Structure 1
Amino acid sequence: MRTAEPRSADAGQTVTVSPGTAAVDPARWPDVASQPSASRARTAVTAAVVRRALRRLPLHVRFADGTSFGKGGPALDVHDPKAFHGRIGSQGLVGFGESYMAGEWDAPDPVAVLTVLAANAAELIPAHLQRLRGLWAPRRPHAQRNTPDGSRTNISRHYDLSNDLFALFLDGTLTYSSALFRGFPSDWDLLAAAQHRKINRLLDLADVQEGTKVLEIGTGWGELAIRAAARGAHVTSLTLSREQRDLARERVAAAGLTDRVSVELCDYREARGMYDAVVSVEMIEAVGAEFWPVYFRTLDERLVPGGRAVLQAITMPHERMLASRNTFTWIQKYIFPGGLLPSVEAVAETVRDHTRLAITRRDAYGAHYAETLRLWRERFTERTNEITALGFDETFRRMWTFYLAYSEAGFRSGYLDVQQYLLTKEAPAR
């Protein structure tokens, strides 16, 4: 299924999976519109395993027939138990997300429910089933490998959805990465300032100033490049998204900085030249474990001796990364094809084994990402009519609501974190 091509909400016949669930366009969302063909026995076993797991958690699980259980806490409403258990039994966590997209379960506060689940992720599946993960978990499609051609396709499916869509829920800086706040809770009016605070900190770590030659891997919509150029730096920024490149170039021109910023449609592996600083913000998540050594060697090879590389990276626990790195997740299927979050240990090992760089500083601030995501999610929810007007249907909106809530919950639970790294390249002795 390809989600990067927005279709109108009435593009094809819509079906309702069961009473109380969402209308789904089977042409656009085939795996959501059709219920899995799991056997009655498998569904029954899954129902027993899922209910046993949920009973141990601080949740209040409510079913359509009026039955409920749990230890209290946020409510999880299962509208279609048969479909809910069938999808999980057939597709695991991919099925759990698809069940939400289909409207088979919901929650008054999805972030609260998903935070409980994320905090208990390692214990949700019994140990004996965890050991057999390779047998039951879906495998990542070969087509999602982040080869140069594969990366272009993977990046396009997310970032070329629509610049107008991203503009609806991002602040005016169009910065699609964690902000850095002064305190919590924050509000929408302070988000742009918090994004600038984050960008300034990255540029300070990289020692970007008048005359600095900067390579940016992952353009976004150009805000970091513009702020670096405003300091007097000369920036070469690389992206694989045509939508991002075109709008970033417009924004650079509007800022009067075309003589200092070049935005290129270029894979990081194709970068050439030498730079005083390399900056890459939440780009490594799209690289894939197979290519982490190549990515970090690129940072090394593009830096002059004495240069600095600064990264912002989302990380997950090392054990969970090892357990899931070869399996196919809901996020990979619907949001970030080819994506994989590294662990702190994986970054350290790759830098040590494949480069001449040294990690000289690492700062974590996951709570700031949870706050950033809350503001994005609330803004996304407020803009439902405008999202519909762009041609995105209800299933898409539920998918992105789940994605934003799922991500926020990851940071609130501590399952996910975000790091800023400073990597240095020693200058030769004189």
Structure 2
Amino acid sequence: KVTYARNITDVDDKINARAATEYPNLPLNEAIRRVTEGTNNQFQADIKALANLEPSSQPRATEHLDDMRNIIEKLIERGVAYVADEHVLFSPSAMNALGGARYGALSHRPFDEMLAGARVDVASYKRDEMDFVLWKPSRNGEPGWPSPAGIETLGRPGWHIECSAMSMAKLLAPFGGGLKCDDPYKNQFDIHGGGIDLVFPHHENELAQSCCAFGTERMANIWMHNGFLQVEGQKMSKSLGNFITIRDVLNDGLPQLGVWDDKDARDRWVGLAARLSMLQTHYREPINWTAQRLAESAEELHRWYGLLRDADFAAPSALSVVEEVADALSDDLNTWSAITALRKAFKAKDVAALGEGMALLGLLDPYFVTAQDVPVFAKADVDTAAIDAMIAERLNFIAGKNWAEADRIRDELLAQGVQLKDGKHPDTGERITTWEVVS
């Protein structure tokens, strides 16, 4: 059984700033509540549309303030944290002096080099350039809670401590681990995930806190860091004007689908296409998001589901495709190899293997296998003359290298259940396009 925790941050400097900007006339605490609730609701809906698994728990930072304070007290007791000017700070130098887990091991950074590269203008309350905040005082109007270590003013947690506290509460304590446990194996969990940009300093600091608090050499057995998202070959950023959200993809990603009466079903279909598109890149590599790739993924899903809808889904599998998919996922989540196995099943028309493999990758939605009124699978009213005219128009666009318009016609026909196949005349070598009804 897998216990999967996905934390939700609801106390953070950026959240405070956004809340003050978006709701200037509300008390800050109420403004923060509205921002976090609205963002979380949208996140949950978007993640559901991508067919992601539900986590076992979704702890919120503000629900685990006692755990944070208890960890901080333990770190002070062990001599790796100290109080200064109403702050509590963690000392990587003190951690390394203990001789256990080494600060910098996760990010493969020599400590001496990190010290040399630290900023010159160090906060006056820090003993050392590399020390980082575990707890800080709340300024006027900011959210605040009773502070640890005898500090009388209200304060709030630093960036890193909340993750150590929530992982303790959800991944250690239920299995006998925690601050009162002396068994190091009960005080570490299996897999920790996050973006590649969080390796340093966030995950390095999180690991340091946890190892020192729980007396372990490691926090997690495996760290998995996903690559950045690019859009049409460029880094996604608001300054470049190419910032795209999951909601944008669900609403606008496949315009050829048109409007469906069942908006939830449409979102799920686009979400599956987006999922397949992203799974074709290894999680540690940058994902290059393109409209063309999304459309191609939707076309491939259409073919796969078409086979499932037209055949006996309960037929026995003659191939070891399911094992191939499982083996690929066991090899550092090699999703590309897993998808290759699905293509092998589709080519062999092995319905059972295709369906089971799609299920393993989160690409199987039973609704699209059985429902009779799904627009994307509606039978096309074949108008041969109209199709031929559109193909001729597309060939003209191709001749003029207007690829966008050529792709638009191709996608429009596919949405109507007509699939184009480009090739060359065997005698003349002239470009030709044939078509078939696929739904």
TM-score, with structure 1 as normaliser: 0.27
Whichever structure has more strand as a proportion of its residues is 1
TM-score, with structure 2 as normaliser: 0.26
Structure number with greater CO (CA < 8 Å, separation at least 6) is 1
